[in-house]
Amino acid sequence: MGSVYLAEHPAIGKKVALKVLHAEFAANQDVVSRFFNEAKAVNDIQHPNIVDIVDYGVIATGAEPMVYFIMEFLAGVSLSDLIRREAPLAPERALSIALQVADALAASHAKGIIHRDLKPDNIMLIQRGRERDFVKLLDFGIAKLTGDNPGSRRTRTGIVMGTPAYMSPEQCEGRGNIDHRTDIYALGIVIYEMITGRVPFVGEGYGEVLVQHLTQAPAAPSTIRGLIPPHVEQVVMKALEKRPEGRYPNTEEMMRALADPVGYVEANGGLVGFQQAVLHVSNLPIGQPTTRLTPSPIAPLTPVPGTLASAQAPSHPGLQTPTTLGGSAGQMAPGTGGGKKVGIFIGIGVAVAAIAAAAVLLLGKSGGDGPKGGDEGSQIAANGSDDGSDDGSGAKPGTGATAGTGTTAGTADGTGATAGTGATAGTG
């Protein structure tokens, strides 16, 4: 439903990610509301492990308004790509990543915000100082605010929202009263995939996967891969309880259980690597408060020079990250040479010029220094064009990122389609 552009301030050279809602959806108030919901949710949480959104609004571009928001530029790789290349991950590395994600979720839940689409495609890993796996959580596009009107279209019972391989049983049933424990279930699956290299439930289509979430017990991770710390397996299995009441009551308690080193000592006879993983969260920097976002006023467009970088596909196939708006959009990566170019368009003729002009106008207002990307330079935390689709069934763990990862927006009875994000500019 949206395209993401790598934009650059023409004077100071600061790079940001400009996410623009496709024109055909700009007149749909429900879609626009969900689009802005991501910006508002992220700004309300203000956590160092959550991607920063610095501005949003609507600009008159003629016949159709341009609905946009601007995100920080992140250079790194998605967790889904790391899993594809290196899984199963070493326990201490998996736990370091999991604890950061859990910390971000805890902050989100404290604000009454449930992510609802947690998956490896929505977790970026960047280089931050000496940390190679600093987590940035993305894609709050289908996040649920606990204060939502139960009768609203965004929360009504019977609508299935999420990515099937990572959806909780209550999401699979299309319940309208899901809470933060649905994110705990999804985090359990993410940890499961990191330490085993596969998701617990695999099927021919998303309907089959939904049924397994509802009826089938997952295989214990240790039956797939040995040398898994016993307490980690216990945490994962508890997080994957079918009934929400059987899971951890909150993310903080899950974090404490993950940080219990006793089982790790028994399994591996050492604490050094695990201590590093556990201490990571306690040393996380406190995010600096930022000014609450308010929509930018509508401004007329005039042709002015600017930079909207179209991207090249990365040299590593499928460097993907997720998107918003009920789907997962890829992140754009700088061209590494040799990859084929991916053109990203919202229209032709005047529309292209309008976007370029808009980028300059928007970026001209945001001159402050933002978080800088990491050193790897292989991926950007912005969302690419999301015209592809993926049933999210997990038939091949971690695959499907090359064309984006899909987020199901179907009905609980198995009908409906998968809204995916496809055109890759170096993400998923």
Known catalytic residues are 117
Task: Note the Cα 261 to chain centre separation in Å.
Answer: 29
| Distance of alpha carbon 401 from alpha carbon 44, whole angstroms | 29
| Distance of alpha carbon 333 from alpha carbon 330, whole angstroms | 9
Strands (E), 233-315: 307-309, 311-312
- At CB < 8 A and 24+ separation, what contacts does 21-28 make? 21/66, 21/67, 21/68, 21/325, 22/346, 23/64, 23/66, 23/346, 23/347, 23/351, 25/1, 25/325, 26/58, 26/64, 26/65, 26/66, 26/67, 27/64
Torsion of CA 392, 393, 397, 403, to 10 degrees: -40
- Token pair belonging to 52: 């920063």
- Token pair belonging to 99: 């604890």
| Distance of alpha carbon 370 from alpha carbon 15, whole angstroms | 9
Give me the DSSP letters along 216-252.
-PPPPGGGTSS---HHHHHHHHHHT-SSGGGS-SSHH
Kindly give, in sequence order, each residue whose CB lies less than 8 Å from that of residue 136, ignoring residues fewer than 6 positions away.
49, 50, 51, 74, 76, 123, 124, 125, 126, 381
Under a CB-based contact definition with an 8 Å cutoff, are residues 346 and 20 in contact? yes
- For the chain, the C-alpha Rg in angstroms (whole number) is 20
Judge residue 151's burial from the number of C-beta atoms within 10 Å of its C-beta, 0-12 exposed, 13-18 middle, 19 or more buried: exposed
| Distance of alpha carbon 346 from alpha carbon 61, whole angstroms | 12
| Distance of alpha carbon 42 from alpha carbon 258, whole angstroms | 26
From residue 123, how far is each of 23, 27, 97, 119, 377 by CA, in Å?
Answer: 27, 30, 9, 7, 16
